[in-house]
Structure 1
Amino acid sequence: VRLQGFHGKYLWAEDDFVTVSQDRDGTSTMASLWRVEQVGHSQRLRLKSCYDCYLTASDIPCLGGATGKKVLQTRPSKLDCAVEWELVVVDEITVKLRVEHSGNFLQANSCLPPWRSSVTHDSFCPEWSLWKVEVVDSPPSKLQVEKNEKALLALILALGQVSSLPKMPPLYDGRIVFYMVAEAESEVSDASHWHYVFFRGRSPDKLAKKLRKEIDVVDDKSFAVCIRHPANSSKLYPLHLELPPGTSPIYLVVLKSSS
């Protein structure tokens, strides 16, 4: 992917293998390309530069009166939370990247002193934490950029390993709930067509109500929201407990019959 900051410049990996900066020329070189690595099954990700270094939230303060701490390229011997960024979706093509341990966001700073187009993790200016996502086709030599509403969704689907591209809602608020619809438990498989909704809160009843509306179910008796057994994906259990805290995606099965 490429990430274009609030000031129109791209997140840029300098060839010293350490510095991260911004540059307007984001399409003619590999320095603006970042490879996405998923962290488990969460919305956390790592970004790797063309120099095989990770985008890292350091503890080094900025100099010259600028707020925030430096963002660097590093090759740590052990991958930890400093190289992990939580994906926060703002709209169809815009995200924020949050540092989990500090709550700060990846920030593209102004060209004016004391920032001078630096990249930090900070909470100084919320607008500077907005990044437009451009998904780049591979191989990189073609550099065909998908600049439409599917770009961000392609990133989300790559993280969630979901096989389809449904219409993207205008605003992300809460967590992503992926679900498949089946008439019977025997129809459930990983090859099934996945849908998704955005849901805020932890109530299983409110989520079930939202899903009933999404798939247009009138009869509650022929409707069940289920979770799959972690060790045996063919076994389903009704969803009765509250959803886990946080905004990590969840995967559900909706049965449209009394089975």
Structure 2
Amino acid sequence: MFRSGMDLFYNAKTVRLRCHHDKYLLADEDEESVTQDRNGSSKNARWTVEFLQDSQVIIRLKSCYNKYLTASNQPFLLGVTGRKVIQSLPRRLDSSVEWEPIKEGSQVKLKTRYGNFLRANGGVPPWRNSITHDIPHRTATQDWILWYVDTLEIQSSDSSVSSPPKSDGRTIYYHVAEDNGDVDDETSEGYSLNFKGNGVEELTRKLVEDTGLEGIIVCTRNPLNGNLYPLRLQLPPNNATMHVVLVLASSTCEF
């Protein structure tokens, strides 16, 4: 029976993960690779913890580049079982960015939805300092999936494990539309950010910064007919939570 390791992340806002080799999980500067290094003071070793609204046992981890720790399907090397762990920002948040902490003494294992574990590899290059997700079959590598969790920042005292910290401003939930204006799984919450302004232009700049997408039009759905229409000038009052859709200016979507 697995024991949940959520208590090691309880109230955590940002964490570091230290592996058996006494190295830290790092987001590489190429904003895609994930590696391990002894420099735990680097900003690249900081991971923001996101708790899911509909689960008490799953977390997401976001790098300093605003991308998620992702269990990809890409083989690390041809002919071996381990698969690459990368940073990504998928259009739709799916199970590849979800990790289940499982307690092992004072350490934790991070399990994917498909039963693999986040693994810090040792040995000679190209294995040295690499990160994969795998199931260790050899006794000598069992410890490679164990991690110490160092909490660097905690949530505000009025937040709970299942909800993000409260702060000034409003929560903006957003999806990115396909070129034809369609949105995958719009019933899910999608991505989110906290926004303290009131103007559409300011929100657009914030979303460009958050997504890295240029030339976006911030839209919302008409509650009467469900059609998308661009937001104009001011946002609704009282910092009300908003759900918006980002449409690329180059898309074929018609308003």
TM-score by length of 1: 0.51
Q: Return the alpha-carbon distance in structure 1 between the equivalents of residues 130 and 110 of structure 2.
A: 16
Q: Return the alpha-carbon distance in structure 1 between the equivalents of residues 57 and 130 of structure 2.
A: 26
Residue 146 of structure 2 is aligned to residue 130 of structure 1: yes
Residue 48 of structure 2 is aligned to residue 32 of structure 1: no
Deviation of 1:115 after TM superposition, in Å, equals 1.1
Deviation of 1:89 after TM superposition, in Å, equals 1.2
Which ranges in structure 2 are unaligned for 5 or more consecutive residues? Answer: 1-14, 164-255
Map 1:7-18 to 2 at 5 A: 7-18=21-32
Residue 127 of structure 2 is aligned to residue 115 of structure 1: yes
Q: Return the alpha-carbon distance in structure 2 between the equivalents of residues 85 and 138 of structure 1.
A: 19
1:217-254 deviation digits (Å, cap 9, x = unpaired)? xxxxxxxxxxxxxxxxxxxxxxxxxxxxxxxxxxxxxx
Deviation of 1:66 after TM superposition, in Å, equals 4.8
Give SS of 2:150's match.
strand
Provide the alpha-carbon RMSD of the alignment: 2.3
Q: Return the alpha-carbon distance in structure 2 between the equivalents of residues 84 and 159 of structure 1.
A: 16
Q: Return the alpha-carbon distance in structure 2 between the equivalents of residues 113 and 49 of structure 1.
A: 24
Q: Return the alpha-carbon distance in structure 1 between the equivalents of residues 161 and 28 of structure 2.
A: 26
TM-score by length of 2: 0.52
Residue 89 of structure 2 is aligned to residue 75 of structure 1: yes
Highest RCO, 1 vs 2 (Cα 8 Å, sep ≥ 6)? 2
Q: Return the alpha-carbon distance in structure 2 between the equivalents of residues 55 and 71 of structure 1.
A: 7
Aligned partner of 1:62 in structure 2 is 76
Residue 172 of structure 2 is aligned to residue 159 of structure 1: no
C-alpha distance 43-86 of structure 1, shift in aligned 2 (>3 A): same
Aligned partner of 1:2 in structure 2 is 16
Q: Return the alpha-carbon distance in structure 2 between the equivalents of residues 111 and 21 of structure 1.
A: 14
Give SS of 1:126's match.
helix
Q: Return the alpha-carbon distance in structure 1 between the equivalents of residues 105 and 161 of structure 2.
A: 17
The size of the alignment, in residue pairs, is 142
Map 1:166-245 to 2 at 5 A: none
1:56-78 deviation digits (Å, cap 9, x = unpaired)? 00000012665310000001110
Which ranges in structure 1 are unaligned for 5 or more consecutive residues? Answer: 140-156, 162-259
Aligned partner of 1:105 in structure 2 is 117
Q: Return the alpha-carbon distance in structure 2 between the equivalents of residues 43 and 50 of structure 1.
A: 23
Residue 33 of structure 2 is aligned to residue 19 of structure 1: yes
Conserved in 2, the CA contact under 8 Å of 1:89 and 1:95? yes
